[in-house]
């Protein structure tokens, strides 16, 4: 948690000053974020993390300001290669703050593993035979992870489905497990492999796939924010934001982009905290398919009786504070310390608040001046560097590109050549 996340002028500090300021606001030691200077990972650690390691890739980590979540200020670490993402999240958090920021809730952190049984002659009866052994199967599963059970987690449910396919109907058992502060994939996969032979015996079939489902629809985090119409730019802007959302709700072509904007924020926090970006993305896009099978918007925007915009977002949040790279990656540890979260649920809720902020900023820009002014002004620094600008030339090239509202590579090279000619 931060004492105060409303750090106006934070952007004008240099990188070291920003680290010191963020650490101070979050009550951390002054050097607590210094590991971010180098990315925290050398080839030796990398070699222990993946196979055939040949090195590491750097990704910038920024801090989003202005966030209030459930009445408490928080500074948010975001790892992203995309310009304007951190600015946009901070911008929308500043607007949401006017009406108290983000309110979040979440379910118990339940992940599910699937056990597929093939070659079953009587799948409907097999389903019931497996359910009749519910207690025995749950006990066998929980024996695999005494730590989790000791921490108050463990199996919360056993369900069995029959899944008809072209030539046979599979029996598919689901183990639903409260994984506490873990992402939980390894934990539930171990359980699934342990119980599969017994389930197959009961079903009188052959066990095949035993793996978690990334459709983590029993582990949901939710965020809601009221956006003051005046702070958004006035009642017309508020109405146009809702029109922008409605297109995403009705049209899968727009929904994919709308949801990508949400994931700009979510994935950046997932990556900064050493969590599994693919699991989060898979869960989110599966959740974007509605009951009729149509891909739609993950968020909603409505006008309330006062004419303010109320924005909501619900997402599966398969993320942890233990396991995976969360404790082995030094940057992940520093990033988690910055957030001050103490449970995986709080982390998931924070991610959803950031996703909603990102979505609000993008849709507001699209419903008003368009995305290019804000986004390209910040991306112009990359364009200037790609055109060959030296550090002392970058700000002049950026200023010219923004003034000309022209961001092509040829134009940047021409601006740079003119600048050098004038010297
Ligand atoms: C870019 C802004 C924020 C400019 O917006 P602005 O109104 O020019 O900014 P401002 O200078 O008035 O500052 C307002 C606040 O924004 C923040 N801010 C502003 N600039 C900075 C900066 N340089 N560094 C750090 N923070 C910045 C900062 O919090 C600041 O308040 P302060 O704290 O200073 O009092 C705005 O235009 C915006 O929100 N645009 C949306 C950009 C966006 O969504 N980018 C994502 C990439 S595009 C994409 O991939 C997704 C998309 C768009 O396709 C999704 C979709 O279609 O839905
Ligand atoms: N499809 C997918 O998404 C897949 C993802 N993965 C990967 O799995 C990894 C995550 O798996 P995960 O199970 O979280 O990792 P771990 O197995 O590393 O961590 C979970 C274990 O940590 C121990 N633990 C200690 N403290 C806690 C606590 N407070 N809450 C919960 N558990 C605690 C538990 O038991 P104990 O101490 O006994 O270990 C638990 O089983 C990620 O790296 C992910 O990329 C893997 C396969 C598939």
402 falls in which pLDDT band (50, 70, 90)? confident
Domain count, the chain: 3
Residue 82 is a catalytic residue: yes
Question: Could you tell me if 333 and 404 lie in one domain?
Answer: no
Considering every ligand atom shown, identify the ligand nearest to the alpha carbon of residue 5 and give its number: 1
Question: Could you tell me if 103 and 115 lie in one domain?
Answer: no
Q: Examine the fold and report which residue of 144, 178, 212 is the final residue of a domain before the chain moves on.
A: 212
| 4: in domain | no
Q: Which position has the token pair 């948010």?
A: 76
pLDDT digits (tens, 9 = 90+) for 116-163: 999 999 999 999 999 999 999 999 999 999 999 999 999 999 999 999
Q: Identify which has the larger pLDDT, 358 or 3.
A: 358
In this prediction, what percent of the chain has a pLDDT beyond 90? Answer: 89
Is the pLDDT at 422 greater than 90? The verdict is no
State phi, psi for 304 to the nearest 5 degrees. -90, 180
Is the pLDDT at 418 greater than 80? The verdict is yes
Distance 198 CA to ligand 1 centre (A): 55
Is the pLDDT at 98 greater than 80? The verdict is yes
Distance from C-alpha of 200 to C-alpha of 160, rounded to nearest angstrom? 12
Question: Could you tell me if 230 and 252 lie in one domain?
Answer: yes
Residue 276 is a catalytic residue: yes
| 5: in domain | no
pLDDT digits (tens, 9 = 90+) for 256-272: 999 999 999 999 999 99
SS3 content of the chain, % helix, strand, coil (to 5): 50, 20, 30
Question: Could you tell me if 254 and 314 lie in one domain?
Answer: yes
Identify the weakest region by mean pLDDT among 5-9, 59-63, 319-323, 371-375.
Answer: 371-375
Distance from C-alpha of 377 to C-alpha of 91, rounded to nearest angstrom? 15
| 154: in domain | yes
What CATH number is given to the structural domain containing 176?
3.30.70.420
Distance from C-alpha of 95 to C-alpha of 300, rounded to nearest angstrom? 17
Quick check: 285 and 188 in contact, CB under 8 A? no
Is the pLDDT at 280 greater than 80? The verdict is yes
Quick check: 356 and 223 in contact, CB under 8 A? yes
CA dist 76 → 23, 41, 278, 314, 362 (Å): 12, 21, 20, 19, 18
Considering every ligand atom shown, identify the ligand nearest to the alpha carbon of residue 277 and give its number: 2
Domain with 418 in it: 373-422
Question: Could you tell me if 262 and 337 lie in one domain?
Answer: yes
Question: Could you tell me if 303 and 259 lie in one domain?
Answer: yes
Distance 151 CA to ligand 2 centre (A): 13
Predicted confidence at residue 376, as pLDDT, reads 82
Predicted confidence at residue 405, as pLDDT, reads 85
Predicted confidence at residue 341, as pLDDT, reads 97
Predicted confidence at residue 375, as pLDDT, reads 81
Element (DSSP H or E) covering residue 115: strand 110-118
Q: Examine the fold and report which residue of 190, 212, 234 is the final residue of a domain before the chain moves on.
A: 212
215 falls in which pLDDT band (50, 70, 90)? very high
Question: Could you tell me if 355 and 406 lie in one domain?
Answer: no
Question: Could you tell me if 239 and 274 lie in one domain?
Answer: yes
Is the pLDDT at 182 greater than 90? The verdict is yes
Q: Which atom of ligand 1 is nearest to the CA of 378?
A: 23
pLDDT digits (tens, 9 = 90+) for 3-35: 899 998 999 999 999 999 999 999 999 999 999
Question: Could you tell me if 127 and 100 lie in one domain?
Answer: no
Predicted confidence at residue 379, as pLDDT, reads 86
Kindly provide the ipTM of the predicted complex, given to two decimals.
Answer: 0.94
Identify the weakest region by mean pLDDT among 146-150, 216-220, 254-258, 326-330.
Answer: 326-330
Q: Which one from 174, 258, 329, 375 is the annotated catalytic residue?
A: 375
Predicted confidence at residue 197, as pLDDT, reads 98
Q: Examine the fold and report which residue of 332, 353, 370 is the final residue of a domain before the chain moves on.
A: 370
| 2: in domain | no
> Any bridge partners for residue 79, and if so which?
61
Per-residue tokens: 232: 């958004």
| 62: in domain | yes
Residue 260 is a catalytic residue: yes
What CATH number is given to the structural domain containing 295?
3.90.770.10
| 3: in domain | no
Q: Which one from 122, 193, 251, 260 is the annotated catalytic residue?
A: 260
Predicted confidence at residue 155, as pLDDT, reads 98
Let me know how long the chain is. Answer: 423
* Whole-number average pLDDT of the chain: 96
Predicted confidence at residue 386, as pLDDT, reads 92
Q: Which of 300, 285, 314 is nearest to 360 (CA)?
A: 300
Residue 136 is a catalytic residue: no
Average pLDDT over every residue of 370-390: 88
Predicted confidence at residue 423, as pLDDT, reads 78
Considering every ligand atom shown, identify the ligand nearest to the alpha carbon of residue 144 and give its number: 2
Predicted confidence at residue 374, as pLDDT, reads 82
Distance 88 CA to ligand 1 centre (A): 3
Question: Could you tell me if 126 and 144 lie in one domain?
Answer: yes
Is 85 touching ligand 1 by the criterion CB < 6 Å?
yes
Distance 394 CA to ligand 1 centre (A): 20
Distance from C-alpha of 174 to C-alpha of 152, rounded to nearest angstrom? 20
1 falls in which pLDDT band (50, 70, 90)? confident
Q: Which of 318, 317, 313 is nearest to 258 (CA)?
A: 313
| 57: in domain | yes
Give the number of other CB atoms < 10 A from CB of residue 199.
Answer: 27
Question: Could you tell me if 223 and 346 lie in one domain?
Answer: yes
Predicted confidence at residue 121, as pLDDT, reads 98
Question: Could you tell me if 228 and 143 lie in one domain?
Answer: no
> For ligand 2, atom 43, which residue shows the shortest CA distance?
324
């Amino acid at each position: 948690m931060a004492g105060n996340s409303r750090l106006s002028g934070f952007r004008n500090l240099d990188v070291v000053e920003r680290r010191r300021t963020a650490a101070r606001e979050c009550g951390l030691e002054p050097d607590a974020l210094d590991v971010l200077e180098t990315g925290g990972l050398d080839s030796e650690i990398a070699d222990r993390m993946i196979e055939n390691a040949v090195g590491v890739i750097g990704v910038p980590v920024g801090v989003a300001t202005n966030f209030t979540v459930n009445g408490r200020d928080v500074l948010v670490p975001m790892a992203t290669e995309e310009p304007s993402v951190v600015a946009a999240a901070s911008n929308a958090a500043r607007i949401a703050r006017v009406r108290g920021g983000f309110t979040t809730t979440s379910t118990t952190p339940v992940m599910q593993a699937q056990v597929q049984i093939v070659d079953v002659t009587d799948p409907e009866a097999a389903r019931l035979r497996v359910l009749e052994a519910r207690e025995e199967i749950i006990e066998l599963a929980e024996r695999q992870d005494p730590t989790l059970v000791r921490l108050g987690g463990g199996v919360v449910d056993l369900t069995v489905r029959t899944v008809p396919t072209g030539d046979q109907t599979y029996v598919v058992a689901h183990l639903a497990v409260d994984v506490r502060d873990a992402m939980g994939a390894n934990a539930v996969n171990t359980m699934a492999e342990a119980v599969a032979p017994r389930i197959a015996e009961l079903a009188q079939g052959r066990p095949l796939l035993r793996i978690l489902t990334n459709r983590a629809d029993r582990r949901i985090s939710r965020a809601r924010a009221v956006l003051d119409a005046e702070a958004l730019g006035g009642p017309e802007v508020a109405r146009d934001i809702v029109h922008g959302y409605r297109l995403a709700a009705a049209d899968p072509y727009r929904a994919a982009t709308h949801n990508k904007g949400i994931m700009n924020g979510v994935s950046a926090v997932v990556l900064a905290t050493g969590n599994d970006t693919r699991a989060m993305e898979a869960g989110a896009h599966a959740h974007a398919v509605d009951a009729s099978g149509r891909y739609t918007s993950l968020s909603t925007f409505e006008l309330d009786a006062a004419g303010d915009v109320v924005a909501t977002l619900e997402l599966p949040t398969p993320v942890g504070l233990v396991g995976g790279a969360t404790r082995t990656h030094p940057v992940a540890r520093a990033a988690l310390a910055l957030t001050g979260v103490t449970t995986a649920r709080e982390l998931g809720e924070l991610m959803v608040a950031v996703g909603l902020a990102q979505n609000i900023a993008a849709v507001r820009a699209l419903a008003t001046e368009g995305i290019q002014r804000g986004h390209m002004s910040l991306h112009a620094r990359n364009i200037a560097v790609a055109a060959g600008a030296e550090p002392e030339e970058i700000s002049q090239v950026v200023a010219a590109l923004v003034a000309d509202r022209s961001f092509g590579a040829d134009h940047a090279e021409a601006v740079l050549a003119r600048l050098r000619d004038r010297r």
